[in-house]
Each structure stands twice: as structure tokens, then as C-alpha cells.
Amino acid sequence: MNTAILFLSLILLAPPEPPSTPAPRLTELVRQLGHRDFKTRETAARDLLKAGDDAITVLNAGVKNTDPEIAQRCRQLLPVIFAAGRQEKLTRLLKEPLGPLPKGLAGLERFIDITGDGRETRKLYAEMMTEHHAIIEAFETDPETAARLMDEFYQKEFERWQAAAEVSLADVAKLPSVPGRAALFLFVRGDSRHVDRRKGALKGYQLLKAIKLRSAVTGPEEIPGIKKLFLRWMQNEKRSEFVYQSFVVVRDAKLKEAAPEVIMFAARREWPEESRADVLDILAKIGSKEHVRDLKPLLTDTTSIGTCTAEDGRELEVQFRDVALGVSLLLAGEKLTDYEYANFGLRNGLPVSSLGYCFPDDKARQSAFAKWKDFTSKPVNKSQAP
């Protein structure tokens, strides 16, 4: 998409102006854009630019003028005014970190509602908006157009990586991360209005790997605001391979704040059982005793997730509820072997995978669930209750 078409699309997608009566002077300046005298036309254009946002209404009307000279000049002036107004607002946003949020910046209030307000999160928004304002502005009025622009962004970024570093698909993750790029990805894809398009999926997935979310959400390189954008994205991402990658980040970063998202995903019956079980296993590493009660509804799910191989060669079924119980036990500080889980599925007392939550037979499974029911029914100190 060339620059002229992009500017025009943003103009046409701009939200309708509230009913108002333009100043007669501004209406006259638009009329003078078609004047036969060059100096008059240039003076009118300059005065309209000085009027800034006040001139947007008459310029939007001028785009539809039957005089092609006036229509063309209005199309040329609008993006210049938009750019100047955007830059002025971004400057004010950063200059007054404790001041009110400037009105008219696309997605700003929604962004701050997610990340929280502060100097660093305002800086992150400004970086994202400076580099990718066309996508954010289009997204506010037409998510389908924003999705197409995101596809172009994925492609452009991937081509830039290859040209600069001469890397293969597998090497993309070695390239440096840019906060604005990570924020854009999470902010747009984390919105429930985002339109998922298969065309950009491959390049988008490579971008997801390249923005290095693990270091961005936690640790010494953590970027303020990215963690909250990440958690919101996890809730709304539509593409399964992206969702799975998010849980890889949660696991590797030991992101305790993601525990509610882990539980939410594990409870989604429409997702593959094996994937749900693998995600639930992550909760054993990042969750705490307070999450045990959230797993209670999962203890009745008898869906098979696969088999484990016993020492005598028998193939033993592992049910989803076996994983839910095992994770509950670990969060409660109990030992799996005390509840008859098989040693051959464990390493140092912990399962090697979700299929490691394995019982030697159904009798052991029934005994384990009965013992857990007895354990949780006993009156205990509230501070110790799972």
C-alpha cells in the first residue's frame, strides 16, 4: 500500500465529526484552494494548516468537492494536519507524565487502562504510536483494514530482518527486540475486535518469537507495561499456535501473574485435551495453594489425554482429571507418591510431563481421589486451606 492510498484510507476511516457549524472563514479558505491565483491558493493552504484540528471538518467536506483542485488539496492537507496534531499530543503526553491524557490519540485510553498510567507506559505508547500509528488509527474504526495493515507489517519486518541479518526462519528469534513492536503486536492481537487472517499467520508467528517476550515480561530487561499487555493478549488471542507459544513464555519466565489465564485455558473443553493438560501442568510450577479451589471443577473430567508406559510394558490411560488432581496436590504441598501416583512417571517426585500424572491401575486412581476428598473435607486453619 503506497503512502497516498494509506493516507486516503485513514481519512475515509476517520470517525465522523460531531455536528457543528464550521467557521465561515475556514469554509472560505477551502473555497480558495481552487482559486486561479497560485499565491491565494498557497496562503489558504497555509492558514488551514495553522488552524489544525479546527480545519478537519471543512477539509473532510472538501474531499468531496466537485472541483478536483479543491478535493485534491484537501486530501493533501488532511494527513499533514493529522500528523502535526498527533505529534503535538504525543509531546504533551510525555511532557506531562502526571497530567490528563490528551484527547484524540487513537487507543490511548484503552492502552493505559490495560498497562496503568505512568511515565514508562506513556513512553511505550508513544513509541508504538510513532512507528505504527496507521495501524492503531485504522483499528479504531475498521479492524479488517487494521488486520491487512498488520499483515503488511509482519511481511515488512520479516524482510527487514532477512536483509539486515541474512537469517533463516529459524534464526529470527536471535534478532534484537523493539518495545514498540512488541507493544503493537500484543495491543492489537489482544483486542477482542482483532480480525485473524491466515495470510499473515506465518510471519506473525515468527514476529512473536522474535520480540522475545520472556525477557520483556520479567527479569532485568522487563519493559514496563508489556506484562499486562501480554496477559490481556493471552485472554483474547484466537490462533492456537500463538496461544501455545504464550504458555511457553509463561513456563520459561515462571510468570506467576498468568495463573488465572492458565486455569481459564485448561477449562476450555473446545481445545485439545493434551494441550489443556500440558498447560495445567504449568500451573504446578507457577501457581500457589490459593489456586487449588479453582481446579475443583476439573476433577470430574475423565477425558483421556493419552497413555503412559508402565515398567512391565503395560499402556496405562491418563485422564485429564489425573492431571488436575496431581497439580492440586503439588499446589497443596502434598506428595504425589502418597496418593499412589506411579513412580515411573515421576522424576524427583515431579511428573516429567502431563502424561507423568499416571496411576498404576484404576483402583489406585479411585483411592487417590477418595483420599483427596477426605483431605479437603477436614476442618483446617483457613490460612492453610487449599
Do 76 and 143 belong together in one domain?
A: no
325-341 per-position pLDDT tens digit: 999 999 999 999 999 99
Do 136 and 235 belong together in one domain?
A: yes
Cα distance between residue 205 and residue 115, in whole Å: 23
Domain tally, the chain? 3
Q: Does 210 score more than 60 pLDDT?
A: yes
Cα distance between residue 334 and residue 161, in whole Å: 48
Do 345 and 364 belong together in one domain?
A: yes
* DSSP string of 229-264, one letter each residue: HHHHHHHH---HHHHHHHHHHHHHHT-GGGHHHHHH
Do 240 and 291 belong together in one domain?
A: no
Residue 272 belongs to a domain: no
Predicted local confidence at residue 126, as pLDDT = 95
Give the range among 6-15, 156-165, 224-233 with minimum mean pLDDT. Answer: 6-15
103-155 per-position pLDDT tens digit: 989 999 999 999 999 999 999 999 999 989 999 999 988 889 999 999 998 88
Residue 267 belongs to a domain: no
240-297 per-position pLDDT tens digit: 888 888 998 999 889 999 999 999 999 998 888 999 999 999 999 999 999 999 999 9
Give the range among 180-184, 298-302, 356-360 with minimum mean pLDDT. Answer: 180-184
Predicted local confidence at residue 326, as pLDDT = 97
Burial-class residue 92 by CB neighbours within 10 Å (0-12, 13-18, 19+): middle
Percent of the chain with pLDDT over 70: 87
Predicted local confidence at residue 365, as pLDDT = 97
Confidence band, pLDDT 50/70/90 cuts, at residue 218 = confident
Predicted local confidence at residue 19, as pLDDT = 44
What is the arithmetic mean of pLDDT over 203-226? 81
Return the H-helix or E-strand segment holding 122: helix 119-141
Predicted local confidence at residue 202, as pLDDT = 75
Q: Which of 163, 165, 215, 157 is nearest to 185 (CA)?
A: 157
What is the grid cell recorded at 364? 489406585
Q: Does 12 score more than 60 pLDDT?
A: no
Residue 260 belongs to a domain: no
Do 160 and 116 belong together in one domain?
A: yes
In Å, how far are 22, 82, 125, 231, 258 from 235, measured between CA atoms? Answer: 44, 33, 21, 7, 10
Are 21 and 150 within 8 A, CB to CB?
Answer: no
Do 244 and 368 belong together in one domain?
A: no
Mean pLDDT over each residue of the chain, to the nearest integer: 86
Do 168 and 295 belong together in one domain?
A: no
Q: Does 157 score more than 90 pLDDT?
A: no
- State the residue range of the domain holding 64: 1-95
Do 318 and 226 belong together in one domain?
A: no
Return the H-helix or E-strand segment holding 304: strand 304-309
Cα distance between residue 150 and residue 367, in whole Å: 53
Burial-class residue 349 by CB neighbours within 10 Å (0-12, 13-18, 19+): exposed
Do 112 and 228 belong together in one domain?
A: yes
Do 123 and 63 belong together in one domain?
A: no
Specify the residue for cell string 487417590. Answer: 368
